[in-house]
Amino acid sequence: MNDKEILDHLQEYLTPRRKMLFEKVLAERTNHLTVVAQDVFQLHNTSAVVRSCDVFGIQNIHVIEEKIPRRIDKEIAMGAQKWVDINRYTSTKACLKRLRAEGYRIIATSPHDDSQMLNDFDISSPAALFFGTEKDGLSEEIMREADASIKIPMYGFTESLNISVSAAIILQNLTSKLRSSGVDWQFTETEKTNIRMSWTKKTIKNSEEIIERFLNQ
């Protein structure tokens, strides 16, 4: 029994509308960009970033909890935590090592003068976008490791934005640019199959029991 047969069986339990919605969302999902939140103090901010990732089609979010272990607030995430993959780390080093191994550029988000303007950012190769704490921003370790840093144009007296607002603005800008580009940003068929399976299992109550019965037939 292969995974496709198991998935086909499970999807018999889905409504046609749900299956169509899965395909519509999958067509807009990407791993070309990924998001990293480092030790964000306010719980609702991380949860809001998770929600923005889902809204703008980012499948993976990485949460570094080196200093501040947190959970995702389900009310603020509005169920988005079911549809994106949340990868947790207890060290910044481990997160950086994994993302480097997967071919991502390390991109810091920082309002400092030497940062590149958001509109000028090159989206042609995979990028991991790092967002820091509300008070101190990103750690020195990430700033040293970063291949580049980007900032949102701002014209007022305030020099920074709330992390959840920054993430939403940056993701909207870069995913729009990505979708109008010639970059190969969409999921591979293998990635689509894996996500279909994950989403289907999360949608169907007692999915593991259904799979076990199917395998024992």
pLDDT the model gives residue 42: 63
User: How far is Cα 148 from Cα 142, in angstroms, rounded to an integer?
Assistant: 11
pLDDT the model gives residue 38: 83
Helices and strands (H and E) in the chain: how many: 9, 7
| pTM for this prediction | 0.90
Place of tokens 């580009």: 181
The overall longest dimension of the chain from CA atoms, in Å, is: 68
Instruction: Give which of 106, 126, 104 is closest to 186, Cα–Cα.
Output: 126
pLDDT the model gives residue 36: 95
pLDDT the model gives residue 4: 87
User: How far is Cα 171 from Cα 65, in angstroms, rounded to an integer?
Assistant: 22
pLDDT the model gives residue 75: 46
Consecutive 10-residue runs of the chain (217 residues): their mean pLDDT?
Answer: 87 95 97 90 76 95 78 54 89 96 96 88 97 80 95 86 91 97 95 95 92 88
Distances in whole angstroms, Cα of residue 16 to Cα of each of 25, 45, 54, 76? 14, 35, 22, 28
User: How far is Cα 113 from Cα 139, in angstroms, rounded to an integer?
Assistant: 17
SS3 of 105-137: EEEEECCCCCCEEHHHCCCCCCEEEEECECCCE
pLDDT the model gives residue 72: 52
